[in-house]
Amino acid sequence: MCLSTQVLNEFYVVATRANRLMPFSHDRVHEILSHLVVSCSVLPLNPAVTFRALDAMQQNSLTFWDALTWAVAAENGVSVIYTEDFQHGRVIDGVRFCDPFRECILKTITSTSSITTKTAVA
């Protein structure tokens, strides 16, 4: 399982947002992120990812942040992104978007072909 640097950053912003019902403290999110980075591979952002995202925005009608999530996966050979933010089942250049709250997570986890497949959480 892997995460992108962007996802770690977005998690901090969302988790500490004051308008959340129960926002996490800075220290609590720091602790959570510390556990995540030792439990998962963290995929870095770089200029190649940024420019690939810019191209994908126009070619696939994506927002910049969604395109960046896709681009870091595509640049690193990730074939499945678990996210609620994309159309479930959509595939862009070999990267499939799977809503973790829908049935495809069970199919992917139990599929023998996906055991060696890189996956990312967005």
- Residue whose C-alpha is closest to residue 88's, from 122, 43, 54: 122
Q: Residues with Cβ < 8 Å from 101, sequence gap 6 or more?
A: 84
pLDDT of residue 20: 84
pLDDT of residue 110: 54
Residues 73 and 95 in one domain: yes
pLDDT of residue 84: 79
Domain-terminating residue out of 43, 58, 73: 43
pLDDT of residue 52: 97
Residues 35 and 91 in one domain: no
pLDDT of residue 107: 61
Please state, in angstroms and rounded to a whole number, the distance separating the CA atoms of residues 104 and 69.
19
Per-residue pLDDT for the chain (122 aa), expressed as one digit of tens each?
888 998 899 899 999 998 888 899 999 999 999 999 999 999 999 999 999 999 999 999 999 988 999 999 999 999 998 887 778 889 999 999 888 777 655 565 555 444 334 555 55
Residues 10 and 51 in one domain: no
Residue pointed to by tokens 């996210």: 83
Show the domain range for 76: 47-121
**H or E stretch including 96?**
strand 95-98
Residues 89 and 59 in one domain: yes
Residues 60 and 28 in one domain: no
Please state, in angstroms and rounded to a whole number, the distance separating the CA atoms of residues 100 and 57.
23
pTM attached to this predicted model: 0.73
